[in-house]
Amino acid sequence: MSTTQPIDEAKLNEFMGRFVGDLGAAMGAALVVIGDRLGLYRAMGDGEPVTAEQLALRTDTDPRYVREWLSNQAAGGYVTYDPEARAFHLTPEQALALAQEGSPAFVPGAFQLATALIKDAPKIEQAFRTGHGVGWHEHHHDLFAGTERFFRPGYSANLISSWIPALDGVQAKLETGALVADVGCGHGASTILMAQAFPRSEFVGFDYHEASIAHARETASTAGVDGRASFEVAPAKAFPGDGYDLVAMFDCLHDMGDPVGAAAHVRETLAPDGTWMIVEPYAGDRLEDNLNPVGRVFYGASTLVCTPASRDQEVGLALGAQAGETRLHEIVTEGGFTRFRRATETPFNMVLEARP
């Protein structure tokens, strides 16, 4: 026999308000991607007021669609509207986040990633039913590009300036000449950043995804570092070479089916005084530590990408994107490492250092 619990109207209204915000954000994600691809944000990057007609002229788009897009963006706070002038503009902060690719606050890549995952929802739904995996390579191609564009600003802002300096003795090695493996490199953003910063060192990016490696090679050539940054197709448990002074893994250890096996292979390929840098999503060790906006994003990505990717591989441990430092320490130790510490952190990442 069911019982009806009393409804707290204030709590219901609070929940419905959250729902309205979330629904608007969900619809807005597609519109951010459209605005990014059509160059609408970039055309407003100077901060000058524009009408829908003027912006449409600048971008060779239809003014009626642009007017509706601008209205949506203004309602969401992504564009600013001046009712007296009946014109729209980007504030400096909005322009930094939406119009300036490469800025440390650039966000359209995150929306590109999110909309790709919505397209892949039927595959994930089936995985829920079967318990099987969905490989990284099986996702919509926008996931690969969006992931790079989402993570690259954080890497640009932190990797050279704070993450590498936080590692014991690594920066000095890179400045004089070191051999580095970037495992799970994807499109190669992290590899290329390091190669640009440390011209005396040699960098090799590895990823099992052939299309990503092809893209990384093209990007390295464009960036002028293809002479010291190379890319090869290889899985984390079998990438070639040895004597690496630094092995880096950026936001990928938790995606691996057998992270312990990957850790053991890193241990085998490191030089005796080498370092393993593990960059992972920021997370506490307990579920309740992660029930916040950042945790919501990472648990969402973990459900749609990370756990299915791990399940698609041998072992299929499925650490998840919110594994936490204690669990990651266990993985690293099982792989044969004896020293482990959190070197530094940001609101989105933990930078962990492991030594033999």
Which of 121-130's residues contact partners 24+ apart within 8 Å by CB, and which partners?
121/304, 123/308, 124/303, 124/304, 124/308, 127/308, 127/311
User: For the chain, what is the mean pLDDT?
Assistant: 97
Which pair of tokens denotes residue 175? 């400045």
pLDDT of residue 2: 54
Q: Could you give the percent of the chain with pLDDT greater than 70?
A: 99
Band (pLDDT 50/70/90 cuts) for residue 165 is very high
3 band by pLDDT with thresholds 50, 70 and 90: low
Write out pLDDT tens, residues 118-156: 999 999 999 999 999 999 999 999 999 999 999 999 999
How many whole angstroms separate alpha carbon 56 and alpha carbon 166?
Answer: 47
Q: Regarding beta strands 80-82 and 202-207, do their DSSP bridges make them parallel or antiparallel, or are they unpaired?
A: unpaired
Residue 5 is predicted with a pLDDT of 87
Question: Is it the case that residue 322 has pLDDT exceeding 50?
Answer: yes
Q: What does the alpha-carbon distance between residue 167 and residue 186 come to, in Å, rounded to a whole number?
A: 23
Over range 231-256, report the average pLDDT: 98
Nearest to 324 by CA among 355, 345, 339, 309: 345
SS3 state at 320: coil
What is the average per-residue pLDDT within 73-94?
A: 97
Cα–Cα distance for residue pair 251/301, rounded to 1 Å? 12
Residue pLDDT, tens place only, 33-71: 999 999 999 999 999 999 999 999 999 999 999 999 999
CA distance 195 to 225: 6
Domain extent listing, the chain: 9-99, 154-355
Q: Rounded to the nearest 5°, which phi and psi values hold at 153?
A: -60, -40
- Thinking of the domain 9-99, which architecture would CATH place it in? Orthogonal Bundle (1.10)
pLDDT at 1 (0 to 100): 47
In the CATH scheme, what is the code of domain 154-355? 3.40.50.150
Bridge partner residues of 230 (DSSP):
204
pTM for this one? Answer: 0.93
Mean pLDDT of 192-215: 98
